[in-house]
Structure 1
Amino acid sequence: MWLNLEGLLVSGPLKDTDFSVQEGGGPRILHQFTLEPPAVSFRISGEKAGIIDIEPKSGILYINGSLDWETKQVHKLQVESLDESGTVVKGPNAVTIYVDDINDNPPEFNQTKYFGVVRQNSRPGKPFMYVHATDRDDPTTPHAHLSYSILHHFPNPYEEMLFQIDNVTGAISPSRTGSYYLDPQKQDTFTLVVSVKDMAGTTTNAFTSSVDVIITVRESLWKAPPTIHIKENSTQAHPVNISKVQSNEPDVIYGIFEKEKLPRLPFSISKNGDIYVTEPLDREEKDTYTFFVVSKDSKGELVDKPLQIQVIVEDINDNPPVCQQALTVIEVQENEIGGSHIGTVFATDMDEEDTLNSRLQFKIQSQEPEFPEKNLFYIQQDTGNLHLTGRSLSKRDSAKYSLKVLVSDPGFQTICDVEVHVIDINDQIPIFENSDYNNVTVAENIPIGTVILEIQATDGDEPATGSSLIIYQVKEGDPNNTFIIETDSETNRGFVKINKALDFETMPVYNLVINATNPEPLVPSVEYNSSSLTTFKVFVTNVDEPPVFRKPIYRTEVSEDIPVNTLVMMVEAYDPEGDSVRYSLEGDKRKWLRIDSATGQVYTASLLDREQEEVYSIEVVASEQMFLILHLRDVNDNRPQLAMDYPAFFCYPVSGGERTLIQATDADEHLFYSKFTFSLANEMNTRNNWEISTFNATHAYLSPKHANFEEKEYNVPIILNDNGKPPLENKVNLKVSICKCSSENSCFIEVDREHSWPTPGQAIGILVGVLLIIGVILGAVFCHMKYKEKNEKGDHKDAKDKAELDRLA
């Protein structure tokens, strides 16, 4: 009975039609042909393969089974429409179905085992044998493109493989390392496990097959024998001949030279060069032996270079494979494509590593249930890698598959149980009920492990899976992992707990951002967003802890006649929060003692009297010390001043372009004078003679506006503004000297036109060019003489001073 497929099928009148259909896949509908009167039914003929047919009345063309590209790539059919009498109305029309190949065939080698021979010192890269595999899939697609590689190397005595394979041709050759080290005396047989992958080996979902390649190494007369292999715990009668050496010279005497100093060496050599093992060996006691065989003449001289003999004690296969887990559980999402690598079955073998005794091979023995078909899974025999074969799994078909995997070594077999769980894809993110859980207030001494908040997010994926389980984490605001969030796996409720002790002094507030995620990755098209985040604040309150005394009782003994102010003892307490401690006494009813409040030193305050009280007990109180701090805010109550304590000067005569830097300062906080304003007083002479320009916030340049200045001192009135709130101004007079300068452009005398009598500073400036000691003496004499003649010889003195200045200039 067909379902009502109206609107779901592509339909149309009968005509020649081609279809492309992927092999496998099961029953499906391809097309619906519509009847055109007088036609009342359809008929189909041709290469129907027993599964291609048409529903006569409805015209639905369908496949009732699975097509196989390997069996037939094209099906050619004819469709006719018939009237009620069975007469052909229309047709036959050609219907061609092309089968598209899928990668459903693993590659196969053309031999079950390969054998090859390689000579010692063969050139690297030169092939000495080939392996060949075929793939039944479409050779025009990557499904049948094969890539070869060496999967295992038994034994593998070096870090690099001794053989290599061309991944395209399957040619096997010695590697560069093998060309140098291959030596049949050390190892004459190698077993290579060669792997071939389809899909050119470029994807983990490729099918893989492997084959053993047995390689024999041939060698080239005093030669060390190949590495000697002796099975442990041999039951043969000893001594047993294990090898032979022969010197190039006759009548030599053979001997064994130990490389290792062993308690006993279980080997001997005969006069003919036969080497014997003298007793059974135990691989667990020692797995390798190395010694030298020497040949000497009758005088005891060496005839040949010593030969190194290597003996390996071989393990016997006495251990079966062991499943790494009693039950291997593999989860597979519904959307996992056919061919995907879904997991690995792991097993171990206690026999010697890298030998055939411990080589494991895997095979699926059974699958339960066998629905919707058998062989839904494929396992790589040498790796245990488990793949889907040709289709995705559906949880509606079965939520779980039980596999029995047969794991075998050359002598034992073990069954490993595997469960494949089909899981819902993770396409829903956790969503918090509240985007903000507001504030939580806790005391700093709250016990570790206390739950301080419960949070809740929900997830729409299948319950009790990795897609719906919610993991809560503190994403931001907790650098020291002070909090931890545990999840109730049944309800997905989160419990925020204290993970480390809180400390109000270190961190009084936490601004926490919590995210909710799943352990299972989201599908590529879905991402976490703000709905999976929530916030809340944790306020930590301080717990004031009282001071603690170092001792519970302070006891001492003194004489009753000690003087007043004698130190009798010292008490000590500390505050857990680091505050200062002050001490006081209570219950000192006789007023015999006093205590230093800062140090805890106890002194006598008056004379003691044993007859009044022999044992005097009082209470010492320790309390926290508190400070009251008064901080005064600054107001703009200081006018700006010039920071210069020396006069400015310009060299006479003024030539133009000169300038001098002046600076303003203020006693107020920097807030009120971050920028000073400089300007000249609004006076005619001042503005005609001088100009001022800003340099930065605290400095300005003063410069003369012309060259017509006399040689004297000028007072330049300048207005300073501190730009405070409110701003304060100050008018200051800057003394500026116009004076003759030395060759170093420094003024060597102050010019004062108001007084004819030179000051001591002017005298020093005049005598700069003479020797310092003579100048000081002459200056003192000159000042003394001029002081006596000040009134009666003023005019004469001025002329003399002027002449002296002219001479110095």
Structure 2
Amino acid sequence: MSFSMFRLCGFQILLVIHLAMCQNFGNLHLTGPLKDMNFSVPEGSGVRLIYQFTAEPPAVSFRATGEKDGLLDIVPKTGVLYLNGSLDWETKTKYSLQVESLDEEGQRVKGPYTIIVFVEDINDNPPEFDQLKYTGVVRQNSRPGKPFMYVHATDRDDPSTPHAQLTYSILHHFPNPYSQMLFQINNVTGAISPSMTGSYYLDPQKQDTFTLVVTVKDMAGLTMNAFTSSADVIITVKESLWKAPPTIHIQENSTRDHPVNISQVHSNEPDAIYELFVKEQLPRLPFSVNQNGVIYVTEPLDREKKDTYLFFVIAKDKEGELVDKPLQISVIVEDINDNPPVCQKALTVLEVQENEDAGNYIGTVSATDMDQKDTLNSRLQFKIESQVPAVPANDLFFIQQDTGILQLISRSLNKRIASSYSLKVLVTDAVFQTICDVQIHVIDINDQIPIFEKSDYQNVTVAEDLPVGTVILEIQATDADEPLTGSSYIVYEVKEGDPNKTFIIETDPETNRGFIKINKALDFETAQVYNLVIHATNPEPLVPGVQYNSSSITVFKVFLTNVDEPPVFSREAYTAEAFENIPVNTLVMTVEAYDPEGDTVRYSLEGDVKKWLRIDSSTGKIYTASLLDREQKQAYEVQVVASESNNVAQKSKATFVINLKDVNDNPPRLATNGALFFCHPLSGGERTLIQATDDDEQMFYSTFTFSLKDDTDTRNNWEISKINSTHAYLSPKHTNFDEKVYNVPVIINDNGRPPLEGEINLEVNVCKCSSEKSCFIAVQRERSWPSAGQAIGILLGVLLLIGCIIASVFFHMKYKEKDQKKSHQEDAKDQAELHSLAK
């Protein structure tokens, strides 16, 4: 074999290797002479080479005519028949071409020959429902799994293939108030029925209409490549026979023969077994139910013991399983007048002054009735039955019939004639009556005023930090009226010198001693001296002609001593907002504090764990000390400390929170880092889902765009298609992949201002898969993809080595250097032809 023939053979080997690497031929023959031929190409297969016709001298080129339709053509110089787009079986099932070879003058050498390209059908027809919208009706409490309607879909693909094997499912459920769907669908028949949850919770009073989005998939739903269609199913929920009766009213203490029929329930299921149960603990449930659903009260009820009952009726089948949800039965026990009035006190004791005017209020007789409130059964009326002694008259007192309020009829009381009276008050309801005892004491008139033991209590000195409630002085006044009565009880009040009620005075009812207490926090800087004027009075009015005078007045002064107090902030908490990218040394807040004693205030920060802030110790201005990061901390909180310059132990704290607003400073990334895989060998149409996310706030990553890095290998092998704002599909563009790990560079852009871009090297395993569709062997990791030029260079190097070995056998060593140089030149020409072929 000559070296030139070897080079020609090497070029043909290189061409075959190149075509095998770059294209998917299936079982097609790669090259051959021009003749009538038939080819089968799957529809939608995209750009691909079909066949290469070899030229027989003097032919130097080829020409194709006929039904090319812009999709089929031939490379004139190389004779490569190729597909320039995607075929559609539904549009055209075959293409007929005429191919002929031409000499250098363009004259026909051979042909034309008929070349027929048959289009193979693939699963490219989605299933279709026979209705755009379905409606159905389901009864409340229907048994789970019992169909109440059907949906139906058809597929134009071959019904004898998986392409038309349909599977139904429920995609969405509106509304869906529970964690599980209320409805279910048979994936083969399209029968829709209530789920276990739906059978229990469906209630037209809560929701009478549901919308289901039902989907149908072809390919028996067993592959991600299956087509899906959907239809809305509108379901109306109607009431069932199984419903709770209205609230049942039963009169208490019934004398009828028990048990008594009070209601009845009906199950949707025939031959249901009824039972009662109650959640609360009762000594005994006074109700029962028979097997016809009739509910009985089994004994008389007492409203005063229990006025309402809540229990449940359940219906079971013979196996003891619930056939309906439990029904709540509400029973209200109605009142009858079966309780007499009861006096609130065994003896009601009241006081009245002997000079009391006619009509004045004396007191109230109180009684209760256990019968139902605000009904005639519990309405009480009062009447005075007797008065002892009956002097100076037997009708000195009057009681209001419906309120029990006692009043004096005339001004005729005299303690010397009678110091007390005993009344019998008759209290009645519509059926019963009760006697309540009342004792009225006649007390001395208030004709004596309180007299202070001192008219001036001099001075009291207290520190401003004494706590509220501290007693600072005790005072004493006396009253000569009858002890332990309203005429002798003394009420102390600060009349002058304390407009803000800083002090209060409490009285000991036994001794009438007054205790002056601090009522509000003292403040030396606000008031240093209080000149207090205190009056002593009685709760009972003085008799005409008697008046309070200076004997019922005392005075004293309260001096406050200053206490060193810590600084006071103008606010307890400060809040600011800032973008996270503001420069260092940006002013974000100014805090203010003052010292009550006028000392200079110094500021500092505590809790600045990230060292993001600094504060001017003199002015209280807070600046950024380093770059902020919202993704680390959205609300950053520190404590601002204000301390006295001369006494750092005197300090106060306030909270400062800076809320960081987001800027788009994080590029998008993949939501998961796990490797993806495709099962080897690929059959076509595979795709896998990828999801993008972003550490910035929602406004910056609500929409992502996906793309592949613009390099030859990535562009020839992969494609990416967007699904929504956060998801996309990654798909191989052909099936000719080796078993190994491919690095696919994916570029993701967010919609921030300005937008950011993230580049991710996505690892994709092409591997043999187990029956569970997962990789079961490790695959060789691809370090890097060589470029097209590098691949050709490697192949040329291999061929050169082979050429050197063969040439050493056939040629003399003195011609070796010359022949190698010539070989390089011809290999460069071959490389240029390959590039032209690939275009």
TM-score by length of 2: 0.29
- Say which structure, 1 or 2, has more relative contact order (CA 8 Å, 6+ apart): 2
Instruction: State which structure, 1 or 2, has the greater radius of gyration over its C-alpha atoms.
Output: 1
